[in-house]
Structure 1
Amino acid sequence: MTSTQKDQHGARSQCSQEADNPHRKAEKTYSCDECGKNFTRNYSLKTHQLIHSGVKPYSCGECGKSFNQAGGLKTHRLIHSGVKPYSCELCGKSFTRAGDLKKHRLIHSGVKPYRCELCGKSFTRAGDLKKHQLFHSGVKPYRCDECGKDFTQIRHLKTHQLIHSEVKPYSCDSCGKSFTHAGHLKTHQLIHSGFKPYSCDLCLKKHQLIHSGVKPYSCDECGKSFTQAGHLKTHQFIHSEVKPYNCDLCGKSFTQAGGLKTHQLIHSGVKPYSCDLCGKSFTRAGGLKKHQLIHSGIKEYICGSCGKAFAQNEHLQKHLVTHSGINVHSCDFCGKTFNDIQYRNIHLLIHTGNDVYCCDQCGQPFTTDAQLKQHVYPH
């Protein structure tokens, strides 16, 4: 046997031994110069190096997302197909890839071997720990081109960018409110269900402070007290006169993003909160709650001057003007002023010739007595 034949025979023998021993671990002799990751085959190394090159020749026709490997594009397309063949037998959640199901199952195992040394929080996967540690580092490498806000993770940036796109593809069947994310819609729908599945001891303790009456945080400007430091901080914006949140439709400014968001419901015309007794709708739950006092018959706001009682404080405040001597309601026709809107509306009869029926509680005018009665006694 020649030396060449011996080499070939030796190579075949080695292959035969590896085939006979399938559990034998192959050596990873090919190493990536960029990140140090090792591979058993040169082809696998070359495929991996595309990640560092930034070249992504495979693009999705549906959304335009690009990939450096054909397999990545193929897997991605499953998202658009809606096919999720891999289901968790414990909770029924479905996935497009077997690997995603495998990762998901760790949640049910309860095993969290990866622990953050800084805060002690534990994670089921090393990748989740690595992402979490970015919060402690303070590094926020992902910046929004629209507003300059920085993020620790690219998925948080992508989620944020939907705000600027104004695209809200997820709509609530109950009230028509739209959301940029499916998760936000799911959370919102709990409002209509009345279901409150999450109980937090810390939140419970914070909530109980409301009932205790203890308000240790006081505003230096006006003396108003709060149960939580965060509420005081939010309140102090009022005194700063800084209103960074502007309405694009009318230009009105707000100190908080929540105030702007609530205000924008006025322009949308959406009124998801309806009164069961009279059908009147409101943009906010608080507006409905105030309105329902009219039907309850409770009138806890009493005028100190004449003893007249009102269901809402704002109605009392309007009434108090009648005792002040200040004329704030003027006639659009002749300019005459009145200290009560009811008197102004009655005065309008001189100019219009129409009958006006006013509500004693809120001053709202009606053209017929029947409309006034329906307003006062809706049921």
Structure 2
Amino acid sequence: MVKRKKIGQHQMPGEKGECLDAEEAVENQVGPKKLGGKSTDEKMDESISPTEEIQVPQKTSKGEGTHECPKCRKTFARKSALDRHEKVHKGEKPFTGLECGRSFSRFANLAKHLRIHAEKKLFQCLECGKSFRWKSCLTTHERIHSGEKPFQCLECGKSFRVKSHLTVHERIHSGEKPFQCLECEKSFREKTHLTVHERIHSGKKPFKCMECGKSFSQSGNFARHLKTHTDNKPLECLECGRTFRLKILLMNHKNIHQGEKPYRPMACRKSVGQGERKSLKCWECGKRFSRSSLALHQRVHTGEKPYKCLECGKTFSQKSSLNSHQRIHTGEKPFECLECGKSFSQNANLKNHQSIHMGRKPFECKECGKCFRLKDSLRSHQSVHTREKPFKCLECGKAFRWKASLSLHNRIHTGEKPFECQECGKTFSQKSNLISHKIIHTGEKPYKCLECGKTFVQRFPLIIHTRIHTGEKPHKCLECGKSFIRGGDLVKHKLTHIGEKNYKCLECGKSFITESALTRHHIIHTEEKPFKCLECGKAFKQKEYVKIHHATHIAEKCYKCSECGKKLKSAQTLKRHQRVHTGEKPFKCQECGKSFRQSGYLTVHSRIHTGEKPHKCLECGKSFSSWGSLHSHETIHKGEKAFKCMECGKSFLSGHHLNQHHKIHTKFNIKYSC
């Protein structure tokens, strides 16, 4: 009888690296109960033929005399077989080889493994010269050259070279997942998938890059990552010459030239028609689904959301949606981009990101030719041309182009502010507002302008600000050619060409293009001045006037004129001031050729030719081409004479009249005394 304590006596010195070669042989063969008809009481140094038939106890139908595994519900005819099987779930491997230290759950597998240290590879493949220790392994290997796949799936007809591969494949049809994670109870069809999954909980990443120190949980990801350090892109597109590191990226790229959608591998399924796969009809909307998909779809109509997040209480209609949501709380991002290493919580987000590396923008706008990576981005863009706003607020009737904008707007009515500052407890309706608010506590403004040194809380305001220095105005009106720094300014400007003024003042009947313009106009009638200067308490009707006024309190003015030494509050005002010295007048009237130092002066001047007088007096109905003229006119009705001569004390309605009056004193040198 073979003594377990004598295992080491049958081991012979050999290379430990050979243990890895034996793994496939051990796993592909079921542990013997009877070897060649001989009992295991015979001595180990008798030759054991690995090609002889291995008899395994057959499963019996569930009933009397059967033993069921409580973990995976698998049944066994004998209690001893169940005890051996349970070691798979427990991870017990009590049998260890003394030569290499490798452990096994069954003694028979250890007995096979010991042959690695004692035997040579006697069976050689005549095609490629590769050698094997067992004839059964050679037989399996030869099927690679012959293409033979003798093990066929009875469900879908797919064939396999190895029976173990067929066994794993059949679990797709049966739905069996015998390997369960003890941490989260998730189940898997293959043990290797469970091993990789368990590294998520343990945080183990055994594959470490020696170049950058980055670690990986899977060997495949590690191998692909190593290619990023070599800068070697051996796969070249024959159409455009672009090179890629991975074959899958090249295949996806080729679809751009062929005009095809990227290929998506699908799970094995029965050979039935599309109509048969989607045979069940939803009576609410008429769509067709498979049986399992229909049950999930009907929750859209019923509003059923049985899966609840224990962290925040949010509910979901599908378990997969809950699993994706929970990664927000755990911070888990299992989907990693092999090109740049960026990680994502959802596989769909990873696929969208990978299109950046492939340079694919397959969705083109028919109106302007602009291309997009995502179909949703194209739909959102098309609403710019159609002016369609399909998402309407049920409370106030306001419409939006995007559903996300409507969701944010609804929080105004509900008062929901889910984002809370941990420092002061203040809450916000948008996450971006919370991020901006947090910087108040730190005082940090990380985004600095390299031209003038001005700092900003967020990156986007800095981008807009730099256009002041560069003069860049990327948003151009196709009607008149006028350009703008901000996209929002262009949208407002386009309304002037349409000529529609849908917002009417109920007090005076004046109409406006935008709702915000009407709101600002209402303040004229109320005489309200809601915007107050924090320095001196002076109040203003508009926020912009406060900003202009506040600049007068700033003691240190950074921008100094090199000609006259005058200090100004901004680079833009300095630039306008310097035109006084240079005589530059870049703004020219197309009608009469007259030039002006500022664009505002040209705008007012052009109204002489057009006859436009947009500024109307509310008292008498008289119209004026400029706001200053209207303001001077309004003093007539009020009886105010705000412009007083310092020489003689006489008052005037306008500054122009005061200037004319001053000439009397300067010409005749007339002085008045009290």
TM-score range, shorter chain: 0.3 to 0.5
Larger-gyration structure (1/2): 2
TM-score, structure 2 length as denominator?
0.29
- Which one scores higher on RCO, CA 8 angstroms, separation ≥ 6? 1
| TM-score, normalising length: structure 1 | 0.47
